[in-house]
Amino acid sequence: DVHTTINVDMQDIAEVALRGVMDKWNAASGIVVLMEVATGDIKAIASLTKTGPGQFDEIQNNAVREIYEPGSTFKPVSMMVALDDGKISMTDSVFCENGVYVGFGGGSRMTDSHKYGWLDVPHIIANSSNIGTSKLIHAAYKDHPEEFVDGIYRTGINTHFGLQLTGTAAPVIRRDGYWDATRLPWMSIGYNTQLPVINTLAFYNGIANGGCMVAPRLVTSVTRQ
């Protein structure tokens, strides 16, 4: 008998809610994971794929088997690394170019959803500014970008959580030494990096847990009768 952390009622609610949202927005796939903050116990995990008009089925557990570019959810990771390294402070401000920036080279054009001017670090995070985050990280690490990757590894977000399951995906946070004009700024806002959903959840769970990251857990014990 395999004893898991899943709460049947929570699992049912998660699946019904996910199905409803996917149907509303005609989504191709969707994931919900509910994890207890203090223990890391997974109370619900649902992963649905659209298989036909109004039809959504669980083909595989994409929360642990697939990797995705985390996008904006990665910005607090970048800020945490820079703060921990003493590269920035909470009072630092940067001009966010009124929503469009082309200064990193390589022909890249970075935009924000709003025309932000000057923002300090808390407001860069609160407003999820691509330009503010990338300009700060680029200025701090452009001469030694490998130090930024070292800091990401220190957070633990790159941990391969096996979850007592076969076929779980490992994060891809590159340490290949190749740095063109765009890799560092785009990495800082969640691109050029791939993570399983469960890793992003574990990072934010660590914030909610007072700074202590706990490994997600799905199986509590296996017994024979």
Alpha carbon distances (Å) from 190 to 21, 160, 193: 24, 18, 6
Q: Please state the pTM of the whole predicted model.
A: 0.90
Query: Residue 78: CA atoms inside 13 Å, Cβ hemisphere, count?
Result: 34
d(CA 107, CA 92): 27
pLDDT in tens, 182-219: 899 999 999 999 999 999 999 999 999 999 999 999 99
pLDDT in tens, 13-54: 999 999 999 999 999 999 999 999 999 999 999 999 999 998
Length of the chain: 225
